Each structure stands twice: as structure tokens, then as C-alpha cells.
Structure 1
Amino acid sequence: MRILLFIFLFAIALLIFIFISPAEAAEMSDAAKIFNSNCASCHIGGGNILISEKTLKKEALQKYLENYNTNSIEAIIHQVQNGKNAMPAFKSKLSEDEIIQVAAYVFQKAEQGW
């Protein structure tokens, strides 16, 4: 059941990002607001102010996140939920839906090169 919910929410997020212009999606989406409120202080523009090589750019995500190449969204969700090293866990701060939205947003922005 949880997997079906994840797939459904991910499909909705992808449709939003595909059919809304990229500028509007970044400016207006709930995912962008969640990212800006919770992530941008360390990851402004997809960078990383604490550990410069561990950015949110596609190449860094592929290198540093386990299972990124085989299951990219789930790898980002896991990182957001559980944190690692200097990154805090957000599973008690963000809802499951918010985590899915921000993971889809990070994935989409990484694919576009931030």
C-alpha cells in the first residue's frame, strides 16, 4: 500500500514538473517552497555550503547516494528522511508527502543541472 502511494505521488509530481513550465514549477510549486524552507540554507542552488563536493548536482548524487543510479527518487527520499553526517534527518520535521515532493524536486533540478 505504501509503495502504491509513493508511486501515485511521484507520478503526480512528475506530471506537474513536465506540464508546467520549469520557471513556474520552480517558482510556484509546493516542492520548491519546501526545499527553500528546509534545504536551501545548506543547498542553495544545488550546492552545499558545508561539504563543497557533496552537492545536489547529478554527478554528486550518483557518487554519494547509495542506489542512486538504480532507484534515484528512493535514494533521495532515504537521505532526506534519515540524514547522514552533517545533514540532519527530516522524517520528524516533514510529512511523508513533503519528503516525496522535495525528493522529486531535487531529482528534477539535478536532471536539469540546477
Structure 2
Amino acid sequence: MRLVLSLALAALIGLLAPSVASAADVAHGEQVFSSNCAACHMGGGNVVNAQRTLKQEDLQAYLANYGDGHEEAIAYQVTNGKNGMAAFGTRLSADEIADVAAYVEAQAARGWA
């Protein structure tokens, strides 16, 4: 009986561990943003196209599928780029992109204040 319970517990931990490990890290996202994004997007702005900032209303207006999944839409943009924005999918890991997307969304929700 102990063996069955131990195996069940191990399986449950194995199922839960990836979701805990894959949770976005906003603090790390801030570091990634500072190193890779701030040159063009300092304070949530946009030096290439001043009308397409990282403020929530602009993200809603200009990012495809932002209304369906904010962080996923941001991660897609970071990964693939578009128009004047470079693609970072080959420069940043998937975890770094998820973290920076979480940071951008958190800042957008606070109005970049």
C-alpha cells in the first residue's frame, strides 16, 4: 500500500512540477527587458513609432490576440517581431520571452508608473 501511495505522490509531483517551474518570473523579466528592450521601450514608450507604446490601450489596439491572452500575445510579438520591431526568438530563450512578457503585462496593467 505504501508503494502505491508513494508512486501516486511521485506522479502527482511530476505533473505539478512543470507548471510551477514554467511560471513566469516578473523580476527576471525586468532584467531581460532592461538588457534587450529598454533601448526602444524605456518607460513603456516606443522610440521607433511613438504611437505604438507598451501601454495597455496601445497593446490592445495593435497586438493581435491581446484580448485573448495578454502575455501570450506579447510573447508572440517578442518572438517574431513585426514592422519596426526585431524578432527576439533566436536571441532569447522561451523562458526569457515568457518572463519579459509577464513583466511588460504587469507594467502595462500599472500604467508603467
Same fold (TM over 0.5): yes
Gaps of 5+ in 1: 18-28
Other-structure match for 2:12: none
* TM-fit CA distance, 1:100: 0.3
User: TM (normalized to structure 2)?
Assistant: 0.78
Give yes or no for the alignment of 1:9 onto 2:7: no
CA deviation string 1:19-69 (max 9, x = no partner) = xxxxxxxxxx22111000000000000000110010000000000001101
Gaps of 5+ in 2: 1-16
After the TM superposition, which segments of 4 or more aligned residues of structure 1 sit over 6 Å from their partners?
none
Q: Distance in 2 between matches of 1:87 and 1:101?
A: 18
RMSD: 1.9
Q: Distance in 1 between matches of 2:100 and 2:62?
A: 18
Equivalent residue pairs, number: 96
User: TM (normalized to structure 1)?
Assistant: 0.77
Higher relative contact order (CA 8 A, sep 6+): 2
Q: Which has the larger radius of gyration?
A: 2
* TM-fit CA distance, 1:7: 8.0
Other-structure match for 2:7: none
Q: Distance in 1 between matches of 2:52 and 2:44?
A: 10
